[in-house]
Structure 1
Amino acid sequence: MTAGLLWGIAGLAALDAFNPATIVTVTLILLAAPRRAGSAALAAILGAALAVMTLGTVLYLSAGAAADAIGGVLLGLRFVAFGAAAIALAFAGIRRLRDRRRTPIELPVWFRPLTALPLGVLVTSADLPNAFPYFVAIERLVDAGVPTSQGLLILVGYTVVYCVPCLVLLVVGLAARERTRAWLQSLVTRFSRGTVRRSVPIAITLMLAAVAVGSIPFWIP
């Protein structure tokens, strides 16, 4: 295990940390949780961490075992990572070809910290197929032949980095509650109401990006 490998995986984790699904979930809880918003947001972050660590561990161990017996496993993992990202970009591009009304998101009155934990697991698990940096990081670990114990420890570090933006958001939200709440509310209002207008240039840009990302596995050595 080299310093270059660690820095590379740290960079991938930092890129993956700005995951809109998890950050939006924490933001929504801080704004709309009927009670104990801070505890509920923390529970959701723990749920996200649990999803990242559990699914990553399963994928890492299974990919490592398969790589010893089956050739091309790492190449397949690479295609899965960038293929998922390309599909997500293409889908986003298609959606920009028509006007789309935003749907406000609300939390039910029975929402509690106890239900926030599985919500964090569910939201993050559903979004992990689009988290191509995670797949690339696991591929690098397996390809480098990192011992299992060290690889799992690195995945723990990856999970911690992944949760940092949400933890910062939680701390800032609790420390400067009114000011932060007003700022977050303005963001939620902006992105959860109104209509997303049709834009052919943006749609074409997203589709071209999908083609570019999807072609990456073909020219990576």
Structure 2
Amino acid sequence: MSAALLIVVAGLALLDSLNPATILGVGLILVLPSRHPVRAALAYVLGAYLTVLALGVGLYLAADAAVEVVDGGLVWVRRMAFGLAALMLLRSAIRRLRPMRRTQVVLPAWFTPWTALPLGAVVTAADLPNAFPYAIAIERLVDAGVAPSAGLAVLAGYALVYCLPCLLLLIAGAAWGDQVRHWLHKLYNRFGSAREVPRSLPAALGLGVLAAAVAGIAVTA
């Protein structure tokens, strides 16, 4: 496995780690009233890690098998990765064409440190269709002919990098609780409270053009 491949996969993992849903979950646990917030946040991140790792292992093994069984299987893996990215961008573009009412973000009433792990798994799984860098990273591993054991180790590292912002936020919350909670409260008041989001034609147009460009890559890949 070359250093260049590891750098590419690490870059994709860092891009993928900027996942608002998972990061927001950790922030909510730290800022909203809950029992043992640090312990619950750690369980939440563990649930996210296991979900990302499980999905990656499944996709990697399936893609590796497709390459060996189907002629041109790797091309279809690549097309699926870019096609998924185009669909997610198109969905975002359509949503910006109309105003939206966003409800207040709160923790569910049944939330405890014991239920934090499955909640982290569910929230992360629901947002994984946006994780097209993951599919691209897996395609790169398969294309390079990486041994399965090494590929699985890389995916374990990818999942860890995916959770890195959450872990850093968790560490900061444990070390500097009051300061971090004060900062999180400001963010929560701005983004977590109920509000109206107006439509934005420029944003929709920009996302639509980007979706078309990525779709073009998917077709010609």
TM range (shorter): over 0.9
Q: Contact 2:13 / 2:162 at 8 angstroms: preserved in 1?
A: yes
Asked if 2 retains the 8 angstrom alpha-carbon contact of 1:44 and 1:119, the reply is: yes
Corresponding residue for 1:208?
209
Q: Is the 8 A contact 1:46 1:120 kept in 2?
A: yes
TM-score (norm 1): 0.94
Q: Deviations over 1:64-85 (max 9, x none)?
A: 1121010232222222222222
- 4+ runs deviating over 4 angstroms: none
Q: Equivalents in 2 of 1:166, 1:41: separation in Å? A: 9
Deviation sequence 1:36-55 (CA, Å, 0-9, x none): 11111110100010001111
Counterpart mapping for 1:1-221 below 5 A: 1-192=1-192, 193-220=194-221
Query: What code does the residue aligned with 2:214 have?
Result: V
Contact 2:53 2:159 in 1 (8 A): yes
Q: Matched residue of 2:110: which SS? A: coil
Shift of 1:219: 4.6
TM-score, reference length from structure 2: 0.94
* Cα distance between partner residues in 2 of 1:97 and 1:217: 25
- Unaligned stretches of 5+ residues in structure 1: none
Q: Say whether the 8 Å CA contact 2:102–2:195 is kept in structure 1.
A: yes
What value does the CA root-mean-square deviation take over the aligned residues? 1.4
List runs of 5+ in structure 2 lacking aligned partners: none
Provide the rounded CA distance (Å) in 2 between the counterparts of 1:118 and 1:51: 10
Aligned residues: 220
Deviations 1:10-49 (A, max 9, x none): 1111111111111111111112252111111110100010
CA distance in 2 between counterparts of 1:153 and 1:177 reads 34
For the 8 Å contact 2:80–2:218, the answer to whether it is kept is no
Measured in 2, the distance between the counterparts of 1:66 and 1:90 equals 28
Deviation at 1:109? 3.3
Q: 1:188 to 1:79 in 2, by over 3 A?
A: farther
Which range moved further: 189-198 or 51-60? 189-198
